Amino acid sequence: MSDPALFSHADWQARAAALTFRNLCLIDGAFVPAASGKRFASVNPATGQVLTEVAHGGAEDIDRAVRSARNAFDDGRWSRQTPGQRKEVMLRLAALIRANIPELALLDSLDMGKPVKDAATVDAPGSAHFFQWHAEAIDKIYDEIAPTGGRDLAMIRRVPLGVIGAVVPWNFPLDMATWKLAPALAMGNSVVLKPAEQSPLSALRLGELALEAGLPPGVLNVVPGFGEDAGRALGRHPDVDCLVFTGSTAVGKLFQRYAGESNMKQVWLETGGKSPNLIFPDADLDKAADMAAFGIFFNQGEVCSANSRLLVHESIAEEMIDRMATRAAAAQPGDPLDPASRMGSMVDHRHADQVMNFIASGRAQARLVCGGERVTLNGSDAFIQPTIFADTAPDARIVREEIFGPVLSIQTFKDEDQAVTMANDTVYGLAASVWTRDISRALSLADRLNAGTVSVNTVDALSAMTPFGGMKQSGFGRDLSLHSFDKYSALKTVWIKY
């Protein structure tokens, strides 16, 4: 395969024109229409054009998918395979993802407007890596023997839960599906995956690749649909053992309610964020500015852990504002299929409206440094300039609420105590960053910041080896790392007297 990082604008356009879309529900190993026969449009937000009509899954389709997953789990076609056998299938799936990176990258780019170069060099390769990493971990996780003594043998075994319902967002469609699927499948569970209605295409293709890799039919089912029908049906289904979700805090609360209304299924949530980025005078200010721009403008700011609050020591405030304005000017939106584009479009016109509403609020409550305008490209006005506000008050809406767009608010602090107070003054607790050369300060602040990940002299540090998740209303439970297996398994004690 040619290196996608070297593809030209024309190369990507030609590949996009030749794409074939999988647009039906994947249930029990076969693509089938929705039981209702309904479809919905999958729209390219960067052009406003319809890509394809996708099966509109509903409660009946979720029920079919759950029954298929339950049958697959109960008959042991996957759950009772050895760890080594599951590992081989998942390694083949990782290889197939790598072999199809251009196609998978295009599906996500066309579906949600992100730069295809980012999808081809970060998202799709990352998905292959995460499948491989979890596959390699399967036969490295050991059960335990309790030190009971005497004529007793107490075995503590880690066993799969059964049927997992997974609901994933539109901002990283392939990656977020992988974060849920890899550990769930590795443990031997069956899964019903509901991708976001804005971005179902890569999930459906991933399901097809999983079958090609040797995953038995019924072990992975993919039902595209909307939250109010397919999502709610999955959350309330009495035969789903565990529901995992990445998305908004408001919808996460709905899934907690659905679980209580049905079978008290486990619910694991990774929800919103309003991540602070603290910069001290002794930091490398150029590098801090580079990464601060990445932390808010990458993926158009549509990142749950986006560093959307820049807290700067008052002695370097104007210097950092100038640096950030320069970097924003270099990150203007462009055609997502052009490898030179630093930013793409918002996921859809409605979300662009919401972001512009936040910008209007910011204009009334803070000083606009740069950006703030909507941009029309290729007939679509879903593009928004990278936007920076300064002199923002602590109670400003753009400081308090998750925007999920390329909008940065800059505040100043006098000392460490004030910086920590400002950073923690939020209902969220997903991520935080600190920039300083003082190791004592870095370690002290890492202890005091209420966040699931604290990155020092970088932003959004991430690895398959470390857990990702939040505190407070950013949710609970962790994706990635060996800890990700915890929510897809149960501990069973087997006690033998002899």
* Residues assigned a catalytic role: 270
Question: 237 Cβ partners below 8 Å, 6+ apart?
Answer: 62, 63, 66, 165, 262
Cα–Cα distances in Å, from 382 out to 44, 348, 473? 10, 6, 29
Q: Please give the Cα distance from 424 to 43 (Å, whole number).
A: 38
76 Cα distance to chain centroid: 30
Structure tokens that stand for 26 in this block: 């994947």
Q: How many CB atoms lie within 10 A of CB 91?
A: 16
The closest alpha carbon to 308, from 432, 474, 475, belongs to 432
Torsion (CA) 391, 394, 398, 403 in degrees, nearest 10: 130
- Type of residue at 164: I
Strands 428-429 and 431-435: unpaired
E strands within 250-338? 266-270, 276-279, 309-313
Q: Report yes or no: 216 and 136 within 8 Å, Cβ to Cβ.
A: no
Tell me the helix, strand and coil percentages in the chain, rounded to 5: 45, 25, 35
